[in-house]
A = this chain, B = another copy of it.
Amino acid sequence: MSNRITMAEVARQAGVSIMTVSRAVNGKDGISHATRLHILEVIKSLGYRPSGIARSLATQRTLTLGLVVPDITNPFFSEVTRGVEQLAHQHGYHVFLGNTEEDPQRELGLIQSFEEKRVDGLILCSSRLEEDSLLEIIARLPAAVLINRRLTQPEQDAAVDSVIIDETGGAELAVRHLLSRGHTAIGFLAGPPTSFSGRGRLLGYQRAMQSHGIDFHPGWIAPCHPSVEGGQQAAGQLLEAHPELTALFCYNDLVAVGALHASSRVHRAVPHDLAVVGYDDIPLAALVSPSLTTCRSPRLVLGSRAVEVLIQRMQGCPGGCEHQVLPVELIIRHSAP
């Protein structure tokens, strides 16, 4: 390797002991101002950089976090990542990024690797792992936070920190907006029924409809793949089967864009002939035309809040686990004014 300069070398050149150098480097006291200055001088001239590895071995802390996401190119996760990095940096931590490519097997591997890297804390975003594995893993780690997921069993849920979005509340907000504009025949392009957010948003839709005294129409709900193509296809079929629908609430913005495409195909102008509402407010939402009315999920905050919870836990703060639920904001644009 490149013959790195060590503390011993600095100590030799400065004519002091290793311990004194250590004190100077870490800004601790018990050292005269003069020698400190001198040592700092030597350090600079030698280009010495302390070894985080050696330090971590001695202190049993790495000042390192692990972040696991399903797909970093997804704007949702990239913004969560940004939030995580931002706050980690603020607290002097650095972050290992793991991309699972949606593969639970890789997720497991990454978590294990991060454990071997001795991360001080782990953030699992939209974990695809089953509850048992998840719980087992988290128990092994010094600190861990789930983003975008909670465990279903109450006792288990109580044992793990989490930060999530108010999926149901956001969906209610969106549907209520449509209802307030006079729509009653509102379809729902539902996402994956297995996902946490899929279930939450469906529940919100149902609640809002029910609270308005609207009969439940199973036919108005169409599951679809959470993509533009999925949305386009599902919207096309739904509108054909149920021409009475005057509005569509979509699982996410990609699906909504697909709905936009589909409606233009069947010559229903948005928003005049059909109102469309999305979810997430990804950058795309403001750029398509008509621009999307949508629910803004606080992605960056999701990440930064997770780090806060983690750091609190790492500092051994007392109290039980935290379950933060972040509110969602309705952004009204042209697709459903």
Q: Which residues of A contact B (CB under 8 A)?
A: 1-2, 47, 49-54, 56-57, 60, 62, 64, 67, 71-73, 75, 78-79, 81-82, 85-86, 89, 94-99, 101, 106, 112-118, 140, 142, 228, 257, 283-284, 287-289
A117 to B101 alpha-carbon distance, docked (Å): 26
Cβ B53 vs Cβ A62 within 8 A: yes
**From B72, B99, B116, B142, contact of A49 by CB (8 A):** B116
B73→A72 contact, CB < 8 A? no
Report yes or no: B284 in contact with A51, Cβ–Cβ below 8 A. Answer: no
A57: which of B54, B78, B112 is its contact (CB, 8 Å)? B54
The 7 closest A-B pairs by CB, nearest first: A97-B97, A52-B116, A78-B78, A85-B99, A52-B117, A73-B78, A53-B56
B49 with A115: CB separation less than 8 A: yes
Q: Judge whether A94 and B73 touch: CB under 8 Å.
A: no
From residue A214, how far is it (CB to closest CB) to chain B in Å? Answer: 32
* Bound Cα distance A85, B109 (Å): 14
Across-interface contacts of A85 in B (CB, < 8 A): 72, 97-99
With contacts A51-B116, A86-B99, A112-B49 taken as known, whether A75 is within 8 angstroms of B72 at the C-beta atoms is no
Beyond A1-B60, A72-B82, A75-B75: 7 further Cβ-contacts under 8 Å? Answer: A47-B140, A49-B112, A51-B57, A52-B117, A53-B53, A73-B79, A288-B288
With A78-B78, A86-B99, A94-B113 in contact, do A118 and B52 touch (Cβ < 8 Å)? yes
Q: Which residue of B lies closest to A142 (CB)?
A: B2
User: Shortest beta-carbon distance, A117 to chain B, in Å?
Assistant: 5
A289: B residues at CB distance < 8 A = 288-289
Q: How far is the CA of A2 from the CA of B142 in the complex (A)?
A: 7
Do B86 and A94 have beta carbons less than 8 Å apart? no
- How distant is the Cα of A112 from the Cα of B89 in the complex, in angstroms? 13
With a CB–CB cut-off of 8 A, which chain B residues contact A86? Answer: 99, 101
A283 CA to B253 CA, complexed, in Å: 13
Provide 16 A-B residue pairs closer than 8 Å at the C-beta atoms, listed in order of the A residue: A2-B142, A49-B112, A51-B116, A53-B117, A72-B82, A73-B78, A75-B78, A78-B78, A81-B99, A85-B98, A86-B99, A94-B98, A94-B113, A97-B97, A287-B288, A288-B289
B75 pairs with A142, CB closer than 8 A: no
In the docked arrangement, what's the CA distance between A56 and B57, Å? Answer: 10
Which residue of B is nearest A140, CB measured?
Answer: B47
Q: Which residues of chain B have C-beta atoms less than 8 A from A140's C-beta?
A: 47
A94-B113, A289-B289 known; A82-B53 Cβ under 8 A: no
Cβ of A139 to closest chain B Cβ, rounded Å: 10
Contact residues in B for A72 (Cβ distance below 8 Å): 72, 78, 81-82, 85
Q: Which of A85, A97, A142, A289 has the largest number of chain B CB atoms within 10 A?
A: A97
In the assembled complex, the Cα of A101 lies from the Cα of B90 at a distance in Å of 13
The answer to whether A96 and B96 have CB atoms under 8 Å apart is yes
Would B50 and A116 count as touching, CB distance under 8 A?
yes
- Shortest CB-to-CB span from A68 to chain B, Å, is 11
Given contacts A49-B115, A52-B116, A140-B47, contact A96 B99 (CB under 8 A): no
The minimal Cβ–Cβ distance linking A313 to chain B, given in whole angstroms, is 12
Give min CB distance, A158 to chain B, whole Å: 20
